[in-house]
Amino acid sequence: MSTPEITLHGTELSGHCHRVELMLRMLGLPYRYAVAPAAIRSSPEFHKLNPLRQIPVLQDGDLTRAKQIAAALLPFMSHHLSTRSFLAADHVTIADLACYSYVAHAPEGGIALGEYESVLAWLRRVEALPHFKPIAPSPIPAPT
């Protein structure tokens, strides 16, 4: 089997990385996952990939991109999803994958999702998609 051309540099607990990995999986693109903890990110080799020393970094042949953040506001999402199944269309799109990882992790950062029923239902819809992979739970307990 040939080595995939695409390499995703990331860490297991990073939502930024998880959403990129979800997209690769759902597009059916073969990729290699290169684990890049702080020690790797401080190396001269990683500096060449991303001078900001941040993950995710997606390498596709000679092309390297550090992905951009998109923030989602829960009350907005909740209202929006009260009449829709997915964020941007009547089927899943990149918008759902871009937002999923952080929203799913929000309770670990002390942001309860209980009052956002439509957001919870949307999370379950994304999780039910073919090829879905859950993000690893944080070992840090959620603040009380």
Ligand X SMILES: N[C@@H](CCC(=O)N[C@@H](CS)C(=O)NCC(=O)O)C(=O)O
CB of 102 to ligand X, least distance (A): 10
Cβ-based nearer residue to ligand X, 13 or 120:
13
Alpha carbon distance, N-terminus to C-terminus of the chain: 48
Closest to ligand X by CB, 94 or 120: 94
**Dist CA 65 CA 54 (whole Å):** 11
Q: Give, as one character, the DSSP assignment of residue 137.
A: P
Site of interaction with ligand X (CB under 6 A): 14, 16, 53-56, 66-69
Q: How far is the CB of 104 from ligand X (least distance, A)?
A: 14
Least separation, in Å, of the C-beta of 132 and ligand X? Answer: 20
70/112 with CB nearer ligand X:
70
